[in-house]
Structure 1
Amino acid sequence: MFYVYILYSEHYGKTYTGYSQDPEQRLLSHNELSNKGWTISYRPWKIIHIEAFETKADAMKREKFLKSGKGREYVKQEILNRL
């Protein structure tokens, strides 16, 4: 399985969308293991949303949508408003 996940930095009010076969390990990487990249500036992160997909291609397609303008609006309206 492949997963699309949305991380949220409560302190900074930022979101990050990605995909992985192991979202919990990716969360650990974003919070502790990585020493470069955009996400290190906004630690700590928590997972606020996960979607499962059978194929990598489907997960990548969903990730691409969620990173688009309409996808970001969806995240704000449907996911962030539930927090």
Structure 2
Amino acid sequence: MFYVYILKSKVKEWRYVGFTRDLRKRVKEHNSGQSRATKNYKPFDLVSYVAVSDKETALKLERYFKSGSGIAWMNKHLMSEED
């Protein structure tokens, strides 16, 4: 199983989309500063995630969530009012 996930910084107005096989481990890595892309925005809340069966689908979904139309879809369907 692969997970495409959305993190929201607790201290700055910033979100991150990524994918992983081990969701709990990856969120811990982000929150401990082990990810170069997110270390300046920690700590994070896990806002949402989608589980898919294969890596190719996870990569496509991650890429979509980072596109303009994907961000709009994500905001409408996966984010709460306060996010």
- What is the TM-score with the length of structure 2 in the denominator? 0.87
1:48 counterpart residue number: 47
Identify unmatched segments of 5+ residues in structure 2.
none
Aligned residue pairs, count: 82
How well do the aligned residues superpose, as a CA RMSD in angstroms?
A: 1.5
Give the deviation of 1:45 after TM superposition.
0.8
Aligned-residue identity in percent? 32
Q: Which has the higher helix share?
A: 1
TM-score normalised over the length of structure 1: 0.87
Equivalent position of 1:27 in the other structure: 27
Structure 1 pair 44/24, CA: closer, same or farther in 2 (3 Å)?
same
Query: CA offset at residue 11 of structure 1?
Result: 1.8
Unpaired segments ≥5 residues, structure 1: none
Which amino acid is the alignment partner of residue 64 of structure 2?
A: F
Q: Which amino acid aligns with 2:10?
A: E
- 2:16 is aligned to 16
State the alpha-carbon separation in 1 of the partners of residues 45 and 57 from structure 2. Answer: 23
